[in-house]
Amino acid sequence: MRTAFWIIRIPDDIWAPFWEGALILVVGIAAWASGHPWLFSSLGPTAYEQAEKPHLKSARLYNVIVGHFVGLGCGFLGVAIMNAWGTPKVNEITSVSMARLGAAVIAVVATTFLNLKLDSGQPAALATALLISLGTYDTAMGALWIVIGVLILAAIGEPVRRLRLPKPQAQ
Residue 105 lies in a domain: yes
Mean pLDDT of the 142-166 span: 94
Residue 2 lies in a domain: no
Q: Please give the pLDDT value at position 171.
A: 59
Say how far apart CA 26 and CA 12 lie, in whole Å. 21
List, as one string, the DSSP characters of 84-109.
Answer: -TTSPPGGGSSS--HHHHHHHHHHHH
When pLDDT is cut at 50, 70 and 90, the band that residue 31 belongs to is very high
Mean pLDDT of the 151-165 span: 94
What pTM does this model have? 0.90
Bigger pLDDT: 128 or 91?
A: 128
Q: Please give the pLDDT value at position 3.
A: 47
Say how far apart CA 107 and CA 134 lie, in whole Å. 10
Mean pLDDT of the 85-100 span: 89
Q: Please give the pLDDT value at position 13.
A: 86
Q: Please give the pLDDT value at position 132.
A: 97
Residues 6+ apart with CB under 8 A from 7: none
Q: Looking at the predicted structure, is the pLDDT value of residue 1 above 60?
A: no
Residue 73 lies in a domain: yes
Residue-range definition of the domain harbouring residue 116: 9-164
Count of domains observed in the chain? 1
Mean pLDDT of the chain: 92
